[in-house]
Chain A
């Protein structure tokens, strides 16, 4: 992928949404020559990819959920899962428009497509090969990118934030951070206008660096978990972590290869590189861990795989197999080292969003500067990559920090200490994940008596009494 297709994608978005669709109204659908047919193969592939990317968010929820203590696993799952609700709605209201409609100074889109105004089943856009794909398919695919990016930050804030504040936070965050940054990278914004353009095939800057640095800023405002570095906080369910990793890995083929927005050789290359970089990163992490800590851990294998997926995300379309292997193994080993930084530096990035997504995203984004094939890689490309990575880091850190601070000062970001210590699942969600009361039918659970409806009406209260 190079500069020109990125520009083409934006230009085509500007032009095709209006004219071809209005054209179709004027001329009627029978006139096939006036309206070039939509490419069914490419559109179908984008739709399938969108479904794969959707599965990553529940996968992420399980990946994170297994890593927290059993008293807060539901909260962790919900912090990711709620993003599918909130961000999808905001995307159709104004997210798509801010990211992909027009351009205001290279910084953000306009509001011309608010509520996907003017888009109908005939609306198309051109992909990199110049084929027409359904605009709905493209918008859905991009919507699910926004969903998972917001969800990624949740791991850093495990166990300790008010769920209502988290919902406000991600809604505001995608508005002031993700939509603009997605515009910079993919919507025709200033990063895609650099010469040479930033290589970010599937979102190393817009998704992973963005979420990683956003998570760091939020953690610095929210503060540490009660008992950080003192109490044991070991993962409560590693099989859940591995299940989540599997779903992420599977979905990531849609995330990465789907970003070609069609089916061609680059799609195959990206899918292939996704697999081998992830494999190499798993090994890289495990080897470092075996040398440093003496064991090949399940959590290490899962974490390494995710680090590899992150690092190949920006780079996989522009490197050969050896480049992908190198990026993978470096990402695995370096992220394995980076997750220990939080103990030295004293910030409680609970599930290592910074150590895996920020560090992995930076590794992939910078390494492709040198490793890109086809005469692209080199000093000037590396410079563009660094500008891309560090501009997103600077912007997102400052804006997220201010946003988190505003939430902290107004509605409060943290749960009460009592709720945090006793378990946020029960306190904020009125549920617990597991029934520990034991054997056969749980007659000792203490909850057998009242299967009354929730206290929403007088009738329910009477039954309870």
Chain B
């Protein structure tokens, strides 16, 4: 199994969700996140005082997948998240040792 994590622009969430549902992904977890990459932060002005905001709001999406599907799911997310502008985010996957469905106790790929 693989854990696919995507940190992307918040306004792409709906497209990504729809694309994943179309692909057949049954569940995902979304967290509000903040951070910076090459995009860096931005400047805000309050009564003439300028504030540099380093950390940009992002959405962190996590999906558990079987090994065979993982690469394709990564592609689906990347395609749906892309705007072509700086700050589109990153997607990565890591191996997962075990997964359990809490209600039934099923383990491994059956739990997905």
Contact = CB atoms under 8 A, between A and B. Distances in A.
Q: Do A and B come from one complex?
A: yes
A102 B74 CA distance: 83
A297 B50 CA distance: 12
Interface stretch (B12-20, B40-48, B57-65, B90-98): B40-48
A443 interface: no
B49 interface: yes
B28 to A, nearest CB: 15
Interface in B14-71: 44-53
A223 interface: no
Contact of B50 (A293, A336, A339): A293
Contacts of B44: 234
Interface string A281-304: 000000001001111010110010
A187 to B, nearest CB: 36
B49 A343 contact: yes
Contacts of A120: none
A336 B47 CA distance: 7
Contact of A339 (B47, B51, B52, B53): B47
Nearest to A337: B48
Q: Which one of B48, B51, B53 has the highest number of Cβ atoms from chain A below 10 Å of its Cβ?
A: B48
B46 A297 contact: yes
Nearest to A294: B45
Contacts of A339: 47-48
A352 interface: yes
Interface string A18-62: 000000000000000000000000000000000000000000000
Interface residues of A, number: 17
A336 B48 CA distance: 8
B6 to A, nearest CB: 20
A235 B49 contact: no
Contacts of B45: 289, 293-295, 297
Interface string A79-113: 00000000000000000000000000000000000
A374 interface: no
A352 B47 CA distance: 9
A293 B51 contact: no
Nearest to A351: B47
Nearest to A343: B49
Interface string A341-372: 00100000000100000000000000000000
Nearest to A339: B47
A232 B53 CA distance: 9
A234 B46 CA distance: 7
A137 B44 CA distance: 46
A235 B51 CA distance: 11
A340 interface: yes
Contacts of B48: 289, 292-293, 336, 339-340
Nearest to A438: B32
Contacts of A293: 45, 48, 50
Contacts of A300: 47
Interface in A229-260: 232, 234-235
Contacts of B46: 234-235, 297, 299
A299 B51 contact: no
Interface of B: 44-53
Interface of A: 232, 234-235, 289, 292-295, 297, 299-300, 303, 336, 339-340, 343, 352
